[in-house]
Amino acid sequence: MAAPLVVVNFKTYTTALGHAAESLAAHMAATETSARMVAVASAFDLGAVASVDGLEVWSQHLDPVGQGSHTGWLEPQTAIERGAVGTIINHAEHKVSIDHVRDLMAMLPEGFPICACAANVDEARALAALGPTFIAVEPPELIGGDISVTTADPSIVTDTVAVVKEVNPDVRILCGAGVKNGADVAKAIELGAEGVLLASGVTKANDPAAVLADLVRLL
């Protein structure tokens, strides 16, 4: 099995933007672990976060547009030039159509990881047919909460794994929403996920280095 992923979405939290984003990225890079640590940075911070050695950096969103007359859109090639080596798409806070995901995948270079977010098993099934690198299942009602999806609704993780692997066995599954500690991460792996996608558990922590160390302690 490949190394499990710990994917931290910086969102637009004050504690994960600008200089704070660079500091958080440094904490992630310094975390001693065999896990694959991924920082999902704001487009404004891609270059700065990508300059931190030893850390994989993804974009929070990309649009299927080329370079030219596309004011306000996030054009993939520029993100790549600024250090993005992957992206999430269709997050619960930035939903897009299935066509958007399909068209974006067609534009991205071979081997560029794309993590498509799904709110439920049915959405995960539809996304799996496109063949993204990862699907992250995150029930929207649990995002930012204090109860992990692995505790509140473990069946959505196991059911997503089963459905996605049936549609496309090459797609890897992440789970998120409420993930806060090492026990949550270990439970996600036990349920069949290959990593976690989280945000506030790290970005809003008083001691992010300690939280990061705890997240990976059971891996």
Q: Active-site positions?
A: 91, 138
Q: What number of residues does the chain have?
A: 219
Q: Which residues contact 69 (CB under 8 A, 6 or more apart)?
A: none
Q: Which residues contact 145 (CB under 8 A, 6 or more apart)?
A: 177, 178
Burial of 168 (0-12, 13-18, 19+ CB in 10 A): middle
Give the number of C-alpha atoms closer than 13 A to the C-alpha of residue 18, restricted to the C-beta side. Answer: 4
